[in-house]
Structure formats: C-alpha cells, structure tokens
Amino acid sequence: MREKTQINKADILQYDNVPVKIAAPYLGISDQAVKSGIQHGIFKFGVQNGGKGAGFIISPQKLIEHKEGALVEEAFRAKVRFILGLLERGIITEEDIFELIRRKTA
C-alpha cells in the first residue's frame, strides 16, 4: 500500500504540467482515478496527450480550481452527460441509475 503524501497548492504551482503521481495525492484519489476521469471528460483540469498509453497534460491552475470547487459544477454536468450517453446507447438502464443512487444514499 502506498503511503499518503501531502501535496499542497504551492507544490502544484511548481509545475507547468502536473504529473499524475502528484495530482492524485493532491486530490486524495488514485492515479488511475485521475487518468480515467481525464479520459472520460469528467475532470476538466487535464487532457490525454495522444492515444492509449500516452501521458497526460494537467494544468496546475485548473487542478487547484477543481480542488477548491470552482470546477465542481462543470464536473457534475460532465458526469450527467456521460450517464445520459450510456442510457441512450442502452449500456445502462434507468433501474441501474436508481440502484446506484440507492447505494450512495444508503
């Protein structure tokens, strides 16, 4: 298990392009969660640089704004669009969505 690392705003501002391994502990999530969130358009603080297996470009200022809440509404809207897209393509059902909500609120 990886030891928790404390990363602060000053640490983030030292980078022109924040590495995933720095962004993840700053947000309190895994490296994979950062990568997946960027790939699926949920996190707007970065982009994937190229195809599968490529690196990521993470803006220090947008990462800080995300953590401080400035990008929360935008991220929420992206999640809703993503879920609606899954629903429209028949990948999930309304019942799946309700079950997820029940689990999160239980």
CATH, residue 65: 1.10.1660
For residue 41, what pLDDT is reported?
Answer: 85
Map tokens 């928790």 to a residue: 4
Domain count of the chain? 1
pTM over 0.75: no
Task: Assess contact for 19 and 66: CB atoms under 8 A.
Answer: no
- Identify residue 67 by its one-letter amino acid code: K
Residue 4 included in any domain: no
Residue 51 included in any domain: yes
For residue 17, what pLDDT is reported?
Answer: 97
E strands of 1-106, at which residues? 46-49, 55-58
Residue 63 included in any domain: yes
Residue 41 included in any domain: yes
Residue 3 included in any domain: no
Give, in degrees to the nearest 5, the angle at Cα 27 between 91 and 42.
30
Instruction: Please report, in tens digits, the pLDDT of each residue of the chain (106 residues total).
Output: 345 568 999 999 999 999 999 999 999 889 999 998 998 888 999 999 886 667 999 999 999 998 888 666 677 778 888 888 999 999 899 888 888 878 877 6
For residue 25, what pLDDT is reported?
Answer: 94
Residue 100 included in any domain: yes
